Amino acid sequence: MCCWRAKQSKLGIDSATFHRTYTVRISLLEEPDELESTESDNTVVGKQDLGKSKTPLQPPEDMQAPRPVPRYPWSQRTLNVLEQSPSPIPRYGHTLSVISEGGDGVWLFGGVSDGALTSDVYVLNIQDGAVKRRHTEGTKPTPRMGHAAVVVKVYEPEMRESIIVWGGQANKRDSDLYVFDISSLIWSRLRWTGHGPTGRVGHTLTADGCRLFMFGGDVEGRPSDELWVCDIDASSHSATWGRISRADDMVWPPARVNHTCILHEEHIYLFGGTDYQYHYNDTWMFSIVSHTWVELNVIGYLPDPSEGHSAALVGDHMYVYGGRDVNAVETYHLGALDIPHCRWYMFQRMGRGAGPRADHAVAAVGSEIIILGGEPRSYEARSANRDEEKKDQHIMHVLDTGCIKYPDLPRKGTGTNHAQ
């Protein structure tokens, strides 16, 4: 099923430009011989035999087979905190890093807990919800929030995965690269050469093998549009920073803070953020080969402008959740960018979601996206979460993207959109 809608942009509705939109199906596990789903809203309706009564006879209630519970994309799992560890949440401004595709757990670092900056390290098993705080050694990062963390193979000859942390709001400005070896639970400081970026908060760090791309962030109270690349040499356990310059005629994203970036094939995709004057919902693509930016001419239902949201990649889709809108109110909106077709989707009737939040952390493991923590600071968000506040301290929210079925569409060229 399809319909025609006006394209939405950060400037509002362009009534002169229309794009075809398509229905996204949500898979609900029901009895296939008895139930079917409509194309329009995924409402489950009963089949009827034409020519017969619209109200067929039903067997007595005690003889009816139990109906299966629909499987919605959203679910919750209880955290099982081990060995007297304090619960990792409530917490905000932290990061989640996936090791060995989840086989060695999802690792949490830092953030604000009980009103204080932390350098906590937790490991989470997403299958049974087991979570444990780990005692670490070595040259540890100072407590911080709003940092960035990526997984990189930096130890030869095993080339085992480690977590690299850079930046964040701490008790002092910090430009060092920290490496955490999960096998030994030891932190170390990575030696680096070249002129590196100034420490900042609210930036993004995106890994392509042993290359790290850092964009944006708040530098001493000012939003930045700087783009840096860090090349890591695993053999010498060192790194080299270099800034990617912007030519006068080069298209470039505006400076921003609290945006998101993900890597898909040979491109980094950027969404949203704020420069403290405007909130953005633009979508940019950076080529890690040619070092050029393109603002994508996206279509479909765009997420509202936001900052402090999260993003995760599953397959060819970039999923964006939550964040703060232009009124500084946390949202619970879920959007997905179909990257090959440059089309945004928004979702409804997905089951009980994660509620309004910002400054949370996400991790993608297989088809599932884990959402943990975040802080509802606005009155509206606190009111919406009041009944769940205590319960939310012991649960993680899970989005199973395998339940979402997208329409088959012809591949769309990326194009550019300079008129914003």
The half-sphere exposure of 273 on its side-chain side, counting CA atoms within 13 A, is 27
Are the C-beta atoms of 146 and 169 separated by less than 8 Å? yes
Are the C-beta atoms of 139 and 189 separated by less than 8 Å? yes
- Cα separation, 129 vs 395, in Å, equals 8
Question: How many helices (DSSP H) and strands (DSSP E) are in the chain?
Answer: 1, 37
Are the C-beta atoms of 297 and 291 separated by less than 8 Å? no
Are the C-beta atoms of 302 and 313 separated by less than 8 Å? no
- Cα separation, 152 vs 98, in Å, equals 11
Cα-only R_g, the chain = 23
Mind listing the pLDDT tens digit of every residue in the chain (420 residues)?
333 333 333 434 333 333 444 556 655 544 333 323 233 333 222 222 333 333 344 445 444 444 444 578 999 999 999 978 899 999 999 999 999 876 889 999 999 999 999 999 999 998 889 999 999 999 999 999 999 999 998 877 677 899 999 999 999 889 999 999 999 999 999 999 889 999 999 999 999 999 999 999 999 999 999 999 999 998 888 999 999 999 888 999 999 999 999 999 999 999 999 999 999 999 999 999 999 999 999 999 999 999 999 999 999 999 999 999 999 999 999 999 999 999 999 997 787 889 999 999 999 999 999 999 998 665 555 555 555 555 567 899 999 999 999 988 877 654 443 333
CA dihedral 377, 393, 121, 192 (to 10 degrees): -30
Domains of the chain, first to last: 74-405 (2.120.10.80)
Amino acid at 194: G
- Cα separation, 205 vs 203, in Å, equals 7
